[in-house]
Chains A and B, each alone.
Chain A
């Protein structure tokens, strides 16, 4: 069964997981709309974007890594480190944001580069390398300070409070625009560049990619660098949102990011997946939270329970999908 036939149109099997996630999102939105007063508005979806802009950016980086068959556990810690560095540099020496932000992005990318290099050059499993990176970045936060540092820089606070009005009383924050630009650029790169092709080929079969003369090593190093960059940018967006730097920000966030990517239909073994899926994955996670908060009586831990159940379903779905195509 190569395709799923819907009426006359047929959809290649590789789009199937994305389609499922998309349907799930629509279904959840409809259920929410029926159950709760004032749920079925455009602003609810926009709020999901606003609240999860940083998660979306991190998930973009993670998508690159997972597409090559790797994993990056350091993203949550890098986010915390980024908020911490931004807050402390602006609060203490009073650096201006236009210096702080590039510096933070450079640090995140640098960390990713180093991890990618270690993964490639010493042929070590990404799990363990990025686990080390995770501890390292988290630990570095506490060398800067153990307490939460508030951000009072006028540019940052202005950025945090800006509302961009859309039609019909709907609005988004600047972070959403940044996140969507990142998604658009990344989607374009994945689809239309030789680098993007190398990412898919490396994840699909690293050995055959090597024998096709693709730059496997360079690709791997680059995806971890991208992931580091995206985490740092996610950290900057989170500090817009939180207006503080803290070593305990984004604890366990790496797992949320991985969950979003997997629910988005990207194969954890690499080689198959789309950024659109990742966006939908983040939206599904965000919508679960929204529904739980609308429910009111349920504790927020129900979010985790739903995410857990969804992950099970999606992993099983992937298993079926990959078993078929590898037949």
Chain B
């Protein structure tokens, strides 16, 4: 019973400046479904990348034993050869190729280099039967839904004679029926003797399907619970996931809350890539002047999607709902409208969406608010330089001059450039999406101070964050978002990590 198919011990993985994993241990018994739980950024995906050879042996410390043998994988090919297959959250299928072609991609059924189509399609059909996929093997992948694509991935894994199947958030993008089918399939695979490791935020699913749970927090293993012997409840897992104390990482702040600045009512957004899937579902929220409001939600809850759909419809289709600015209904059709109405959005991916990395600080700071620095289309370069210098000083951007290229700044200083850029547009409402992601502790404190200062100036600030302590330390009020719905609104005094996590993992009432 206690035979372990996989043992990872003392795994430590360091990225420049960050310890992503620190002395992590994971033991998986043969033939069980083993869940891994943890907050966003806790290190779950990194651990699975170590296991599957995405980070080759030598880039991490520690030992991996699989099927009693020490493993030193140099790449995904090695780990797949050993029988470990990982299915990533973003499916790795080639959309124009058929189901059968995808199943045998890189592993073609061929005779002397020529593909045997009869055998390919026949064997694909057999594998598809095993995973309960009723489609023609020659159907292109792009013609079937995400749920079925997930099944194709599993069929592909089966074709490689998988012994250990790793699924990263397999149900995050699925509807209830597809999720139920997938979970049923995993149980079936377990009965066939295939071991599964599943990473999931949906704790009800974890409780329903897993035989054991390992909880990871801040890159360390906290505990492994056995479903059969330990009394495991959702609350038990949550307390493991969040259990850490708040220290004084936050500048003290008293908010002076004024009138309503922005109100969103019944906001619904559909996914542009998956027709019919609601990414944001009837969300309503209110931001007041001088107030810092948090928006908590796990990955895939629709936080960024909500923010971007409000900010000039930069995400989503069939957006419906009402927006009120200072109590009056407004219409925002594009980013220019949003800026005109005093709304600013600092993206979570500042390198891709927030900055022009090959330009200097000066031109990045002025980019969004250039209108104020120009008359009749002509930019006043002296004024631009003066403004940039002012932010360089007031935001304490550490760079030799405003002519420094932003691509070379550290994360914290880049974020200060992004914030300067938006402050220059003189917004009333700032939506900050993961403002401290990838920033070291000292710079985080500075960013918090800036956020507090913005609130003191009478601006409404909405902070989207995966880090609950950050929201608890910073915000006056916190909304929770789960599967596109606002599941709670908690004032600072009543908020605890456990309560928020409970609201964030609350599924839709059925």
Contact = CB atoms under 8 A, between A and B. Distances in A.
Are A and B a genuine interacting pair, yes or no? Answer: yes
Contacts of B368: 212-214
Interface residues of B, number: 37
B105 interface: no
Q: Pick from A204, A207, A267 the residue with the most CB of B within 10 Å.
A: A204
B314 A211 contact: yes
B356 A271 contact: yes
A2 B408 contact: yes
Contact of B356 (A191, A208, A213): A208
Contacts, number: 97
B352 A207 contact: yes
Given A200-B359, A201-B359, A201-B367, A193 B314 contact: no
Q: Pick from A191, A195, A267, A325 the residue with the most CB of B within 10 Å.
A: A325
Contact of A204 (B339, B359, B366, B403): B359
A200 B379 CA distance: 14
A68 interface: no
Contacts of B355: 205, 208
A205 B357 contact: yes
A215 interface: yes
Interface string B368-380: 1011001001110
Contact of A210 (B314, B339, B363): B314
A13 B354 CA distance: 22
Given A200-B363, A215-B336, A195 B377 contact: yes
Q: Pick from A12, A201, A211, A322 the residue with the most CB of B within 10 Å.
A: A211
B356 A211 contact: no
Q: Pick from B352, B356, B360, B363 the residue with the most CB of A within 10 Å.
A: B356
Contact of A271 (B336, B358, B403, B404): B358
B336 A213 contact: yes
A317 to B, nearest CB: 15
B349 to A, nearest CB: 9
A326 interface: yes
Given A12-B403, A213-B336, A193 B408 contact: no
A140 interface: no
Contacts of A327: 407-408
Given A214-B367, A325-B408, A193 B359 contact: no
Interface string A179-195: 00000000000011111
Interface residues of A, number: 31
A197 interface: yes
A273 to B, nearest CB: 10
B221 to A, nearest CB: 33
Nearest to B373: A194
Given A192-B378, A197-B367, A211 B408 contact: no
B335 interface: yes
Given A213-B368, A215-B336, A2 B400 contact: yes
Contact of B335 (A14, A195, A213, A271): A213
Contact of A212 (B358, B367, B400): B367
Interface string B329-345: 00000111011000001
Nearest to B311: A211
Contacts of A272: 358
A67 to B, nearest CB: 11
Interface string A207-236: 111111111000000000000000000000
A193 B353 contact: no
B207 interface: no
B275 to A, nearest CB: 19
A208 B312 contact: no
A68 to B, nearest CB: 12
Contacts of A195: 377
A192 B381 CA distance: 7
Contacts of A194: 370-371, 374, 377-379
A325 B379 contact: no
Contacts of A215: 336
B227 interface: no
7 contacts: A2-B404, A2-B405, A197-B366, A197-B367, A204-B357, A211-B311, A271-B359
Nearest 7 CB-CB pairings of A with B = A204-B356, A213-B335, A212-B368, A213-B339, A212-B367, A213-B336, A325-B407
Given A191-B381, A267-B358, 14 more contacts: A2-B408, A14-B360, A194-B378, A196-B379, A200-B356, A204-B359, A205-B356, A207-B352, A207-B353, A209-B367, A213-B335, A271-B358, A326-B407, A327-B408
